[in-house]
Structure 1
Amino acid sequence: MVWNVRKAAVIGAGVMGSAIAAHLANAGIPCMLLDLEGLADRGIAKLKETKPAPLYDPAFVSRITAGDLDKDLAVLASCDWIIEAVSERLEVKHAVWGKIASVWKPGIVVSSNTSGLSIDAIVSVCGEEMRSYSVVTHFFNPPRYMKLVEVVPCSKSDPTLVKEVATFCRDRLGKGVVIAKDTPNFIANRIGTYAMLATLRAMEKHGLSVEEVDAVTGPLMGRPKSATFRTLDIVGLDTFLHVCRNVREQTDDALEAAAFAAPPLIEELVSRGWLGDKSGCGFYRKDNYAKEGSDRIQALNPASMTYAPRVGVKSSFIDAAKLAKGTTGKLRAIMQAADEDRLAAFAHDVIEASLQYAAEKLGEIADTASEIDQAMRWGFNWEQGPFETWDALGLEVLASALEERGKAVPAPVAALLDRGLKTFYSSKDGKLFNYVKGEYKVVEEPPDDISLRRLKESGRVVFAGDGASLIDLGDEVACLEFHSQSNAIGPGVLAAIRRAVRETDSNWRGLVLANEGRNFCVGANLMLLLMEAENEEWEEIDLIIRDFQDSMRGLRTLARPVVAAPHRMTLGGGVEACLPADRIVFSAETYFGLVETGVGLLPAGGGCLAAAALAQDRAEAANLDDVRQPIVALFETIAMAKVSESAYHAKRLGYWRPGDTVVVREESRIAEAKRAVLELDRLGYASPGGNRKIAVGGRDAAAVLKLGVQSMRRGGYISEHDVKIAGKLADVLTGGDVPAGTVVDEQRLLDLEREAFLSLCGERLTQDRMRHMLATGKPLRN
Structure 2
Amino acid sequence: MSKNLLVRRAAVLGAGVMGAQIAAHLTNAGVDTVLFDLPAKEGDPNGIAAKAIANLAKLSPAPLATASLAERIVPANYDTGLELLRGCDLVIEAIAERMDWKQDLYKRIAPFVPDHAVLASNTSGLGIDALAGVLPEALRHRFCGVHFFNPPRYMHLAELIPAKTTEPAILAALESFLVTTLGKGVVIAKDTPNFIGNRIGVFSMLAAMHHTEQGKLGFDTVDALTGPAIGRPKSATYRTADVVGLDTMAHVIKTMADTLPDDPWHAYFQAPAWLQALVSKGALGQKAGAGFYTKRGKDILVLDLAAQDYRASNSDIDPDVAALLKERDPAKKFAALRASTHPQAQFLWNCFRDTFHYSAYHLADIADTARDVDLALRWGYGWSLGPFETWQAAGWKQVADWIAEDIVGGKAMSTAPLPDWVFDGRDGVHAPTGSFSPARNAMVPRSDNPVYARQRFPDPLLGEKASQGRTVFENDGVRMWVDEGDDIAVVGFKTKLHTVNDQVLSGLQEAVAIAERDFRGLVIWQPKEPFSAGADLAGALGLLQAGDVKGFEAMVAQFQATSQRIKYALVPVVAAVRGLALGGGCEFQMHAARTVFGLESYVGLVEAGVGLLPAGGGLKELAVRASDAAGPGGDVFAQLKTAFESVAMGKVSTSAFEAKALKLARDGDPVVFNAYELLHVARAHARALAEGGYRPPLPARRVQVAGDVGIATFKMMLVNMLEGRFISPHDYEIATRIATVLCGGEIDRGSLVDEDWLLRLEREHFVALAQMPKTQERIAHMLKTGKPLRN
Q: Does TM-score exceed 0.5, indicating one fold?
A: yes
The aligned residue for residue 7 of structure 2 is 5
From 6, 13, 17, the counterpart of 1:15 = 17
Q: Closer, same or farther in 2 for the Cα pair 1:141/1:456, shift >3 Å? A: closer
SS of the residue corresponding to residue 80 of structure 2 reads coil
CA distance in 2, matches of 1:696, 1:322: 58
Q: Give the drift of 1:722.
A: 0.9
The aligned residue for residue 89 of structure 1 is 98
Q: Paired residues, what number?
A: 767
Q: Give the drift of 1:725.
A: 1.0
Q: Give the drift of 1:719.
A: 1.3
From 536, 556, 577, the counterpart of 1:545 = 556
Residue 66 of structure 2 aligns to which amino acid in structure 1?
D
From 32, 35, 44, the counterpart of 1:33 = 35
Worse-matched range after superposition: 689-698 or 629-638:
689-698
SS of the residue corresponding to residue 641 of structure 1 reads coil
The aligned residue for residue 282 of structure 2 is 273
CA distance in 2, matches of 1:306, 1:749: 63
Q: Give the drift of 1:537.
A: 4.3
8 A Cα contact 1:568 1:591, kept in partner: yes
The aligned residue for residue 307 of structure 1 is 310
Worse-matched range after superposition: 315-324 or 665-674:
315-324
Map 1:681-692 onto structure 2 (within 5 A).
Answer: 681-688=690-697
SS of the residue corresponding to residue 729 of structure 1 reads helix
The aligned residue for residue 43 of structure 2 is none
Worse-matched range after superposition: 49-58 or 526-535:
526-535
8 A Cα contact 2:601 2:654, kept in partner: yes
From 466, 472, 475, the counterpart of 1:462 = 472
Q: Closer, same or farther in 2 for the Cα pair 1:369/1:456, shift >3 Å? A: closer
| Match status 1:339 vs 2:339 | yes
Q: Closer, same or farther in 2 for the Cα pair 1:101/1:686, shift >3 Å? A: closer
SS of the residue corresponding to residue 288 of structure 2 reads coil
SS of the residue corresponding to residue 265 of structure 1 reads helix
From 654, 660, 664, the counterpart of 2:669 = 660
Q: Give the drift of 1:7.
A: 1.9
Residue 308 of structure 2 aligns to which amino acid in structure 1?
M
CA distance in 2, matches of 1:392, 1:45: 47
CA distance in 1, matches of 2:301, 2:489: 51
CA distance in 1, matches of 2:355, 2:506: 45
8 A Cα contact 2:325 2:333, kept in partner: no
Q: Closer, same or farther in 2 for the Cα pair 1:406/1:182, shift >3 Å? A: closer
| Match status 1:136 vs 2:145 | yes
| Match status 1:472 vs 2:482 | yes
Question: What is the CA deviation profile of residues 126-177 of structure 1, one whole-angstrom value per residue up to 9, with x for unaligned ones?
Answer: 2333222211111111111112111111222222212222221112211111
The aligned residue for residue 455 of structure 2 is 449
Q: Give the drift of 1:318.
A: 6.4
Q: Closer, same or farther in 2 for the Cα pair 1:760/1:203, shift >3 Å? A: farther
Residue 278 of structure 1 aligns to which amino acid in structure 2?
K
The aligned residue for residue 371 of structure 2 is 370
The aligned residue for residue 116 of structure 2 is 107
Q: Give the drift of 1:120.
A: 2.0
Question: What is the CA deviation profile of residues 744-764 of structure 1, one whole-angstrom value per residue up to 9, with x for unaligned ones?
Answer: 332333333233223333333
Q: Closer, same or farther in 2 for the Cα pair 1:717/1:115, shift >3 Å? A: same
8 A Cα contact 2:590 2:665, kept in partner: no
Q: Closer, same or farther in 2 for the Cα pair 1:755/1:318, shift >3 Å? A: farther
SS of the residue corresponding to residue 405 of structure 1 reads helix
CA distance in 2, matches of 1:694, 1:159: 58
Q: Closer, same or farther in 2 for the Cα pair 1:564/1:90, shift >3 Å? A: same
SS of the residue corresponding to residue 278 of structure 1 reads helix
CA distance in 1, matches of 2:475, 2:325: 26
TM-score normalised by structure 1 residue count: 0.92
Q: Give the drift of 1:459.
A: 4.6
From 600, 604, 623, the counterpart of 1:593 = 604
Map 1:151-170 onto structure 2 (within 5 A).
Answer: 151-170=160-179
CA distance in 1, matches of 2:84, 2:699: 58
Question: What is the CA deviation profile of residues 245-284 of structure 1, one whole-angstrom value per residue up to 9, with x for unaligned ones?
Answer: 1122111435321232222221121121111111111122
| Match status 1:702 vs 2:711 | yes
Question: What is the CA deviation profile of residues 97-132 of structure 1, one whole-angstrom value per residue up to 9, with x for unaligned ones?
Answer: 221234344333221111111112223322333222
Question: What is the CA deviation profile of residues 514-536 of structure 1, one whole-angstrom value per residue up to 9, with x for unaligned ones?
Answer: 12313222222233334444454
Worse-matched range after superposition: 642-651 or 526-535:
526-535
Worse-matched range after superposition: 462-471 or 178-187:
462-471
From 319, 324, 327, the counterpart of 1:316 = 319
The aligned residue for residue 66 of structure 2 is 57
Q: Give the drift of 1:84.
A: 1.4
CA distance in 2, matches of 1:498, 1:123: 59
Q: Give the drift of 1:18.
A: 1.0
| Match status 1:286 vs 2:295 | yes
Q: Give the drift of 1:413.
A: 7.3
Map 1:206-605 onto structure 2 (within 5 A).
Answer: 206-288=215-297, 295-313=298-316, 315-317=318-320, 320=323, 333=333, 336-340=336-340, 341-406=342-407, 414-415=420-421, 417-418=423-424, 420-427=425-432, 437-444=440-447, 446-451=452-457, 457=467, 459-473=469-483, 474-605=485-616
CA distance in 1, matches of 2:598, 2:324: 34
CA distance in 2, matches of 1:532, 1:206: 54
SS of the residue corresponding to residue 589 of structure 1 reads strand
| Match status 1:756 vs 2:762 | no
CA distance in 2, matches of 1:515, 1:413: 41
CA distance in 2, matches of 1:651, 1:311: 43
TM-score normalised by structure 2 residue count: 0.91
SS of the residue corresponding to residue 671 of structure 2 reads strand
Worse-matched range after superposition: 524-533 or 346-355:
524-533
CA distance in 2, matches of 1:742, 1:260: 75
SS of the residue corresponding to residue 722 of structure 1 reads helix
The aligned residue for residue 765 of structure 1 is 774
Map 1:605-684 onto structure 2 (within 5 A).
Answer: 605-620=616-631, 625-657=634-666, 659-684=668-693
Residue 439 of structure 1 aligns to which amino acid in structure 2?
A
SS of the residue corresponding to residue 339 of structure 2 reads coil
SS of the residue corresponding to residue 255 of structure 1 reads coil
Q: Closer, same or farther in 2 for the Cα pair 1:79/1:685, shift >3 Å? A: closer
CA distance in 1, matches of 2:338, 2:477: 36
SS of the residue corresponding to residue 555 of structure 1 reads helix
Unaligned runs of 5+ in 2: 40-46
From 735, 739, 756, the counterpart of 2:744 = 735
CA distance in 2, matches of 1:364, 1:468: 47
8 A Cα contact 1:335 1:348, kept in partner: no
CA distance in 1, matches of 2:176, 2:481: 28
Q: Closer, same or farther in 2 for the Cα pair 1:427/1:304, shift >3 Å? A: same
| Match status 1:192 vs 2:201 | yes
8 A Cα contact 1:486 1:521, kept in partner: yes
Q: Give the drift of 1:671.
A: 0.8
SS of the residue corresponding to residue 136 of structure 1 reads strand
8 A Cα contact 1:216 1:318, kept in partner: no
8 A Cα contact 2:703 2:752, kept in partner: yes
The aligned residue for residue 84 of structure 2 is 75
Q: Give the drift of 1:582.
A: 0.1
The aligned residue for residue 42 of structure 2 is none
Question: What is the CA deviation profile of residues 654-687 of structure 1, one whole-angstrom value per residue up to 9, with x for unaligned ones?
Answer: 1233642112222222111101111111111223
Worse-matched range after superposition: 387-396 or 35-44:
387-396
CA distance in 2, matches of 1:558, 1:103: 55
Worse-matched range after superposition: 165-174 or 347-356:
347-356
CA distance in 2, matches of 1:85, 1:685: 47
Map 1:142-153 onto structure 2 (within 5 A).
Answer: 142-153=151-162
8 A Cα contact 1:12 1:85, kept in partner: yes
**Identity across matched positions, percent:** 39
8 A Cα contact 2:34 2:74, kept in partner: yes
SS of the residue corresponding to residue 362 of structure 1 reads helix
Unaligned runs of 5+ in 1: 289-294
SS of the residue corresponding to residue 544 of structure 1 reads helix
